[in-house]
Amino acid sequence: MKHLVEGKDFYYDKDGYMVFTAHYHLEKGFCCGHGCLHCPFDYENVPPSRRNLLLKERKHAGKENSDQ
Protein backbone atom coordinates (compact mmCIF):
# COMPACT_ATOMS: atom_id res chain seq x y z
CA MET A 1 0.00 0.00 0.00
CA LYS A 2 1.24 3.47 -0.93
CA HIS A 3 2.28 5.86 1.84
CA LEU A 4 -0.04 8.89 1.79
CA VAL A 5 1.48 12.36 1.89
CA GLU A 6 -0.42 15.12 3.68
CA GLY A 7 -0.95 18.11 1.41
CA LYS A 8 -0.44 16.01 -1.72
CA ASP A 9 -2.76 13.02 -1.27
CA PHE A 10 -5.03 14.40 1.46
CA TYR A 11 -5.68 17.21 3.90
CA TYR A 12 -7.79 17.64 7.02
CA ASP A 13 -10.89 19.83 6.80
CA LYS A 14 -12.04 22.25 9.52
CA ASP A 15 -13.89 19.41 11.27
CA GLY A 16 -10.83 17.16 11.35
CA TYR A 17 -11.95 14.80 8.57
CA MET A 18 -9.39 13.50 6.10
CA VAL A 19 -10.21 14.66 2.56
CA PHE A 20 -8.53 13.02 -0.43
CA THR A 21 -7.21 15.33 -3.14
CA ALA A 22 -7.72 15.08 -6.89
CA HIS A 23 -4.09 13.90 -7.07
CA TYR A 24 -4.92 10.92 -4.87
CA HIS A 25 -7.96 10.04 -6.97
CA LEU A 26 -6.01 10.32 -10.23
CA GLU A 27 -3.35 7.98 -8.83
CA LYS A 28 -6.13 5.54 -7.84
CA GLY A 29 -7.36 5.74 -11.42
CA PHE A 30 -11.14 5.44 -11.11
CA CYS A 31 -14.25 6.87 -9.46
CA CYS A 32 -15.16 4.86 -6.37
CA GLY A 33 -18.80 6.01 -6.48
CA HIS A 34 -18.85 7.66 -3.05
CA GLY A 35 -19.19 11.25 -4.32
CA CYS A 36 -15.79 12.43 -3.11
CA LEU A 37 -15.31 16.20 -2.97
CA HIS A 38 -12.31 16.25 -5.33
CA CYS A 39 -13.36 13.48 -7.73
CA PRO A 40 -11.64 14.23 -11.06
CA PHE A 41 -13.83 11.70 -12.87
CA ASP A 42 -17.07 13.73 -12.73
CA TYR A 43 -18.60 11.16 -10.36
CA GLU A 44 -18.99 8.60 -13.17
CA ASN A 45 -19.78 5.72 -10.78
CA VAL A 46 -22.17 7.68 -8.54
CA PRO A 47 -25.89 6.96 -9.12
CA PRO A 48 -27.32 9.48 -11.65
CA SER A 49 -29.60 11.47 -9.32
CA ARG A 50 -26.82 12.06 -6.79
CA ARG A 51 -24.24 12.65 -9.57
CA ASN A 52 -26.37 15.46 -11.00
CA LEU A 53 -26.64 17.10 -7.59
CA LEU A 54 -22.90 16.84 -6.95
CA LEU A 55 -22.05 18.31 -10.37
CA LYS A 56 -24.45 21.23 -9.77
CA GLU A 57 -22.87 21.88 -6.36
CA ARG A 58 -19.38 21.78 -7.90
CA LYS A 59 -20.40 24.22 -10.63
CA HIS A 60 -21.97 26.57 -8.07
CA ALA A 61 -18.88 26.41 -5.82
CA GLY A 62 -16.65 27.18 -8.81
CA LYS A 63 -18.66 30.31 -9.60
CA GLU A 64 -18.41 31.50 -5.99
CA ASN A 65 -14.64 31.03 -5.98
CA SER A 66 -14.21 32.91 -9.29
CA ASP A 67 -16.19 35.87 -7.94
CA GLN A 68 -13.69 36.50 -5.14
Three-class DSSP category at 9: coil
> Tell me: the pLDDT tens digits for 9-43?
999 999 999 999 999 999 999 999 999 999 999 99
Residue 30 lies in a domain: no
Count of structural domains within the chain: 1
Residue 25 lies in a domain: no
Residue 23 lies in a domain: no
Residue 65 lies in a domain: yes
Containing structural domain, residue 47: 42-68
Given pLDDT bands bounded at 50, 70 and 90, which one contains residue 63? confident
Residue 33 lies in a domain: no
Residue 24 lies in a domain: no
> Could you tell me which of 62, 23, 53 has the C-alpha nearest to residue 40?
23
pLDDT value at position 66? Answer: 66
Does 1 have pLDDT greater than 80?
no
